[in-house]
Amino acid sequence: MKQYNKQSGFTILEIMVVLVIIGILAGMIAPQLIGQSDEAKIKKAATDIVTLENAMDMYKLNNHKYPTTDQGLDALVSAPDIEPLPKNYPEGGYIKRLPMDPWDNEYMLLSPGDNGNFDIYSMGPDGEADTEDDIGNWNIDEFLQ
């Protein structure tokens, strides 16, 4: 009498069904995770802008005017050497270093601003200024909710 060795394992059909199920689940979950990542980047940019706004206010409190566009946000890290020179610049500056926005671009300063005393903004995901995805201190409330 012959004995058959019955091997246990999965058939190719069972493996394909499992792969299809995993693909369907990944297709449903991945867009949600990607959306949360984009939202987190926007919130980080908004938070950075608030921090930079506060440093700008401290600069004005000490020096009676905001840094100019030419002086840029670098004036918050080290004393500017472009007129108007600050009279009461603290040792160590107002912030230790300038953050990059979540898309690895610099935050921009326009002082005086088009929307207030100064405009601080990120060019957003597209990296281009003056587009709908710009995140600035003039529209920040819609991103912080």
Residue whose C-alpha is closest to residue 98's, from 123, 69, 78: 78
CA distance 39 to 135: 12
The string of pLDDT tens digits covering residues 75-130 is 999 999 999 999 999 999 999 999 999 999 999 999 999 999 999 999 998 888 88
C-alpha distances out from residue 126 to 97, 98, 101, 115, 132, Å: 24, 21, 12, 21, 10
Report which secondary-structure segment, H or E, holds 110: strand 108-110
Which is more confidently placed, 111 or 30? 111
The string of pLDDT tens digits covering residues 32-89 is 666 677 888 988 999 999 999 999 999 999 999 999 999 999 999 999 999 999 999 9
Q: What is the pTM of this model?
A: 0.74
Cβ 77 vs Cβ 58: under 8 Å: no
**Structural domains of the chain sorted by starting position, each given as residue range(s) with its CATH number in brackets:** 36-142 (3.30.700.10)
